[in-house]
């Protein structure tokens, strides 16, 4: 079947209905996986049975988690051979919670490690040092070249 404007318009409307019904943020269309998904569906052709909710939250999610773990393992290998930088920053969200973010940067790229809700804690130098030390231990002390923080007084006082 050749290109048909009506068929393409109907497909775009079907995508739009799905997008709106699912309250999917429009910026999601910038995802590199969006066009990859559309291309894969096109190759499957009409009659492709979409994955169920069970498939998405079960075997598909499990496989994607395994992919991420493999990628993290590859990153850890780079950390052990070339070293890495731990980066941390604190901020307050719209609900007035204090959050601490931890990332690891290396020749292999930057990886988000974790975010901590520190609202119930005094965000002083001692607490920050404990959290940074926990991440250093998780990454491997021998792999850490430096720790980068913002210049807020509590981070400066941590002097890690």
Judge whether 35 lies within some domain: yes
* Domain match, 40 and 87 both: no
Burial (CB < 10 A; 0-12, 13-18, 19+), residue 131, is: buried
Q: Is residue 53 part of a domain?
A: yes
pLDDT of residue 147: 93
Number of domains in the chain: 2
| 38 occurs within a structural domain | yes
User: pTM, whole model, 2 decimals?
Assistant: 0.68
Does one domain contain both 44 and 90?
no
Spatial distance between the Cα atoms of 97 and 117, rounded to a whole number of angstroms:
7
36-45, 46-55, 86-95, 137-146: which range is least confident on average? 86-95
Q: Is residue 64 part of a domain?
A: no
Q: Could you tell me if 151 and 111 lie in one domain? A: yes
Q: Given strand 144-148, what is the order of strands in its sheet? A: 109-117, 98-106, 84-92, 144-148
Retrieve residue 50's tokens.
């979409």
Q: List the CATH number of the domain containing 113.
A: 3.30.420
81 pLDDT band, cuts 50/70/90, is very high
- What mean pLDDT do residues 94-120 have? 91
DSSP state letters, 100-152? EEEEEEETTEEEEEEEEE-TTS---HHHHHHHHHHHHHHH-GGGEEEEE----
Confidence (pLDDT) at 31: 95
Domain match, 99 and 151 both: yes
Residues 95 and 30 grouped into a single domain: no
Are 80 and 143 in contact by the 8 Å Cβ rule? The answer is yes
Give domain status of residue 97, yes or no.
Answer: yes
Confidence of residue 119 (pLDDT cuts 50, 70, 90): confident
Whether 52 and 80 map to the same domain: the answer is no
Same domain membership, residue 153 and residue 92? yes
Instruction: Indicate if 45 and 103 belong to the same structural domain.
Output: no
Domain ranges, residue 106: 76-158
């Amino acid at each position: 079947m050749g290109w048909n404007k009506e068929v393409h318009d109907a497909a775009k409307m079907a995508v739009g209905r799905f997008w709106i019904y699912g309250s999917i943020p429009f910026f999601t269309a910038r995802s590199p996986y969006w066009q990859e998904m559309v291309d894969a569906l096109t190759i499957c052709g009409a009659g492709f049975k979409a994955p169920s909710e069970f498939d998405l939250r079960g075997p598909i999610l499990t496989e994607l988690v395994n992919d991420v773990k493999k990628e993290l393992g590859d990153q850890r290998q780079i950390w052990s051979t070339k070293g890495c930088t731990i980066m941390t920053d604190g901020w307050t969200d719209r609900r007035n919670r204090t959050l601490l973010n931890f990332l690891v940067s290396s020749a292999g790229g930057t990886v988000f490690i974790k975010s901590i809700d520190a609202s119930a804690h005094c965000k002083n130098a001692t607490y920050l040092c404990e959290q940074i030390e926990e991440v250093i231990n998780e990454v491997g002390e021998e792999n850490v070249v430096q720790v980068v923080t913002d210049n807020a007084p509590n981070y400066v006082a941590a002097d890690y």
